[in-house]
Chains A and B, each alone.
Chain A
Amino acid sequence: MHFDWSTLILQTVNVLVLLWLLRRFLFRPIVGIIAERKAAAEKLLAEAAATCEQAKAQADQAAQRDKALAADREQILADARAAAETERAALLNGATAEAARARDLAQASLDQQREQMRHELEAGARQLAVAIASRLLERVPAPALNAAVLESLNALSPDHVQALAAPGEALEVVTSAPLDPAIQAMVRQRLSGLSALHFSTDPSLILGIELRGTHATLRNNWRADLDRIAEELSQDDKQLSVA
C-alpha cells in the first residue's frame, strides 16, 4: 500500500483554498444578498406598519374631528332652535300685543262709534222731541205758554235767582218763544231785585225758561229736563258697562 503524503498535503491545501474561494465568491455574497433582501423586507414591513399606524392615527383624528363637528353641529342646531324659539316667542308676543292693540283699537273705535251713534240718536231723539214738542206747542195757546213760563219762573228758588248776577249786572231771560209785553212785565216784577233784564228766544228750550247770568245759568225748561234725563241714562249705561 502506497500513501502519497505530498498529495495529501496538496489536496488539503487545495480544499482549504477552495473553502476560502467559495466563502469569498459564493457563500458570503449569497448570504449577504439574502440578508439584504431580508432587511429590505423588514424595512418594507416596518414602513408598512408605520404607514398603518399613521393611517390609524389619521383615522382616529378624523373620527375625533367628526365627533367634534357633530358636537358643533348639535350645538349650532341647539342654538338655532333656541334662537328660533326666542324669535317665535318674540313674534308671538309681538303678534299677541299687536292683536291686543288692534283689538283695543277696534274696541275703542267701536265704543267711539257706539258713543257717537248714541249721541246721534240722542240728538236725533232730542230733535225729534223738540220737533214733537214744537208741534205740540204750536197747538198750545199763547196764554198757556206764558202761564207755563211764569210757572217755571215761580218754581225757581229766589235765592238761586239772586245769586245769578250781582247787583247792577245784566241778566238774560231766554224762552222758547217771544214773550208778550205783559208777560215780560210780570217777569220784570218777579225779578225785581235785578237791575237789567234782556229777553231773548231759543226754540231748543221747547218750553220753560232759562236765566243766564254772568256767574251761572238757571234752567227750568224741557230742554234742560231732556238733557238731565239723557245724562242720567248715560250714567246708567256706564255703570252697566263697568259692572
Chain B
Amino acid sequence: MIGSPLTLNVVFHVGPVAITTPVVATWGIMLLLAGGSCLLTRRLSVHPSARQAALEVVVEAIEAQIRDTMRAEPRPYLPLIGTLFLFIFTANWSSLVPGVEPPTAHIETDAALALIVFVAVAYFGIRNRGLRGYVATFAEPNILMIPLNLVETITRTFSLVVRLFGNVMSGVFVVGIVLSLVGLLVPVPLMALDLLTGAVQAYIFSILAMVFIAGVLGDAPATKSERKE
C-alpha cells in the first residue's frame, strides 16, 4: 500500500453496491475461520487430539481473559470477544499473504468493528440492568456527568476505530513505502514488527471491548440467559 489509505479499490459490483477489496479479504478471512472451525470441530472427543487440544487452549485462554478482565462469567461474551480477537488477529496477519491488504487497514472495517462493540455495550447494558438502569449509568457518578459520559461513549468508540486503523494502516503503509524504495529483504523486520503490532492491536481491541462492556454491567445480578449459559 503506497496509495492513500483512505481509498478503496472496487473489485466488482453487485447491482449498485460496490464490492471493495476489504470486503473480499474479509470474506476470505471468514471462509478461513469458519471453514477451519468447521473442519477442526467435526470430530470432537472427550479425549482430545492435538488439534482439538490447541483449539481448546485458544478458547479457554479467551475465556480466562474475559473472566479476569470483566470479573464475570465469560460464556455470554465469548462469541463476541472471541470473534473480534480472532478476526482482527487474522486480518492483521493477512498481510503475510502476498497481494492481500489487511481489511483492518481500512477505516470502514474498523468502524464496523467499533460499531458492533458500541451496539454490544448497549445490548449487554440493557440486558443486565434494564433500559432504565442502562440509561442511569450515564448519570454516574452524578447527573452533571451526563454530557461527559455521552461524549465519552462516542469518543471511546471513535478511539477504537482510530487506534486500530492508525496502527495497522501505518504499519502496512510504511512496509509498502520501504518495499518500494529499498528492495526485497529490508522490509522484513518492519513486517515482523507489523505482525507484532497486529497481534497487540487485536489484543488491545478485545480488551477495550471487554472493559467497555464490563463498565455497563456493574454489580447487577446475572440475567436468566447468563445463568442459563
Chain A residues near B (Cβ < 8 Å): 1-12, 14-19, 21-23, 25-27, 29-34, 36-37, 40
The 7 closest A-B pairs by CB, nearest first: A26-B37, A11-B112, A23-B79, A21-B34, A7-B108, A12-B112, A29-B41
> Can you name 29 A-B pairs with beta carbons within 8 Å?
A2-B6, A2-B7, A2-B8, A3-B111, A4-B18, A4-B108, A5-B108, A9-B112, A11-B22, A11-B109, A12-B112, A12-B116, A14-B30, A15-B26, A15-B83, A15-B113, A18-B34, A25-B38, A26-B40, A26-B82, A27-B79, A30-B44, A30-B55, A30-B59, A31-B78, A32-B44, A33-B46, A33-B48, A40-B46
B80 beta carbon closer than 8 Å to chain A: yes
Note all chain B residues with C-beta closer than 8 A to A14. Answer: 23, 26-27, 30, 112
Note all chain A residues with C-beta closer than 8 A to B107. Answer: 3
Note all chain B residues with C-beta closer than 8 A to A4. Answer: 8, 18, 20, 108
Known pairs A10-B19, A11-B22, A14-B27; A26 contacts B75 (CB<8 A):
no
Q: Among the interface residues A4, A11, A33, which one has the most CB atoms of the partner chain B within 10 A?
A: A11
**Given A15-B87, A19-B116, A31-B78; 9 other pairs, CB 8 A cutoff:** A7-B23, A7-B108, A11-B26, A22-B33, A26-B55, A27-B79, A29-B44, A30-B59, A33-B44
The distance in angstroms between the C-alpha atoms of A31 and B82, with both chains bound, is: 12
B185 beta carbon closer than 8 Å to chain A: no
The distance in angstroms between the C-alpha atoms of A15 and B79, with both chains bound, is: 11
Chain B residues near A (Cβ < 8 Å): 6-8, 17-20, 22-23, 26-27, 29-30, 33-34, 37-38, 40-41, 44-46, 48, 52, 55-56, 59-60, 75, 78-80, 82-84, 86-87, 103, 106-109, 111-113, 115-116
**A17 and B108 contacting across the interface, CB-CB below 8 Å:** no
**A12 and B18 contacting across the interface, CB-CB below 8 Å:** no
**A26 and B41 contacting across the interface, CB-CB below 8 Å:** yes
Which residue of chain B lies nearest to A5 when distances are taken between CB atoms in the complex?
B108
**A11 and B46 contacting across the interface, CB-CB below 8 Å:** no
The distance in angstroms between the C-alpha atoms of A18 and B52, with both chains bound, is: 20
**A7 and B59 contacting across the interface, CB-CB below 8 Å:** no
> A26 to nearest B CB, angstroms?
4
